[in-house]
A and B are shown apart, each in its own frame.
Chain A
Amino acid sequence: MKPVTRFTTDTLDWEPYITPVDYDTATPAQREALQETPSHRKISKYTLTLAHDPESLKYRSPLFNLIMYGKDGLPRAERELAAVATSVVNHCIYCGSVHAARYIELTRRPEVMDTIFADGTKAEIDEYSQGLFDFAVALSKTPVAATQADMNHVRDLGFTALQALDLVLASAIFGWANRLMHTLGQAVEPTES
């Protein structure tokens, strides 16, 4: 397995540093938490790794799905853009590749992702996307660096309160996802299956 250390829109695999839970020998609590994941047929190594802590997985899976795929508010593509912005700050190559691909699928705008992956947090994109991107970048720093001026700018771009809240949530949930994916394992080149 060859680790991937640069951002790409190519499809990648993810390899954990610890052994994932084996579904066949999983405890009842682990199986219950795994029911919360979208597909029971093919459970990813990532989810099986997180099943080592079923108590948090049970809440995190629905939380993630509601934030990223819930109805109304911020359009889906813009949630994906926030996810990518945060993944760039936290250097989560795997999350970056998955959510860049989803953004491109939804918008047909690969050039936005190419620019972000080439220039990182300094990327210059169209004004609307830039306001969203810059807010997500600032919110993702530690200590949190997002200011009132950043949020005022987002409002001035036409965001409603619900859309602004969705932007906060999409960026914040990737502050969570990146801290799992980039620390419990690594992005690797896909192997033929």
Chain B
Amino acid sequence: MSNPFSTFGSLSAQSRSGEVQAALAERAKIMQLCDASGQAVVTPAACGNLPHAQRCAIAIRIARANGSEELATTYATLFATMQPTPEVAAIADGAGGADARGAAILSYVDTVTLTPAKASRAHIDALLGAGLTDSDVVSLAELVACINFQARVLAGVRLVEETFA
């Protein structure tokens, strides 16, 4: 199994273009931090009320919403090792929340991924009202934001590779 948290660090070595390989090598520290931050949001040591499997399912959902099958597959490989319940697996597949808390979480995930401009205080209040702590809310926001970031870095690197091949 490929380590999902070495995706970005391994891009340079995999590159078919000398110029792109050199560019990625010059930004090696950034690529390492892309991987480290992914690990920090998907499988943090302190996960609060958001277990790793739920975070990983959300990561897959966001990668797919962005059209990044490559990133989705990376997290799906990790997800398969987590023995998720059917309810959690349904999150990855785009289902709605199983209960009020799940609905508040997925409403935030989908709004902030698809149309961040439409996010409002009501989304945060709904999360707090559903029993999430301040730490959970920030942690969820970082998860959503980080995976959206990763999807764009990966899509962008693929375009750079094709263009500067």
Contacts and interface: CB of A to CB of B under 8 A. Distances in A.
B88 interface: no
Contacts of B46: 29, 55
B44 A139 contact: no
Contact of B20 (A56, A143, A161): A161
A18 B163 contact: no
A184 interface: yes
Nearest to B123: A183
Contact of A175 (B22, B125, B141, B148): B148
B82 interface: no
Interface in B98-156: 108, 112-117, 119, 121, 123-125, 128, 134-135, 137-139, 141-146, 148-149, 151-153, 155-156
> Among A29, A73, A143, A152, which residue has the most Cβ atoms of chain B within 10 A?
A143
A60 interface: yes
Interface string A136-161: 00011011101110111011000011
B140 to A, nearest CB: 9
A59 B36 contact: yes
Contact of B30 (A169, A171, A186): A169
A8 interface: no
B45 A55 contact: yes
Interface of B: 17, 19-20, 22-24, 26-27, 29-30, 33-34, 36-37, 40-41, 44-46, 65-68, 108, 112-117, 119, 121, 123-125, 128, 134-135, 137-139, 141-146, 148-149, 151-153, 155-157, 159-160, 162-164
